[in-house]
Amino acid sequence: GVGAARAGNLTFMVGGVEQEFNAAKELLTCMGSNVIYCGEVGTGQAAKICNNMLLAISMIGTAETMNLGIRF
pTM for the whole thing?
Answer: 0.74
As for how many domains the chain has, the answer is 1
What is the average pLDDT across 55-61? 97
Calpha distance 35→28 (Å, rounded): 7
CB 5 within 8 A of CB 28: no
Q: What phi, psi does 20 have (nearest 5°)? A: -70, -40
For residue 40, the enclosing domain spans 2-71
**Residue 72's pLDDT band (cuts 50, 70, 90):** very high
- Catalogue the active-site residues: 48
Give the whole-angstrom CA distance, residue 25 versus residue 43.
16
Average pLDDT for the chain: 94
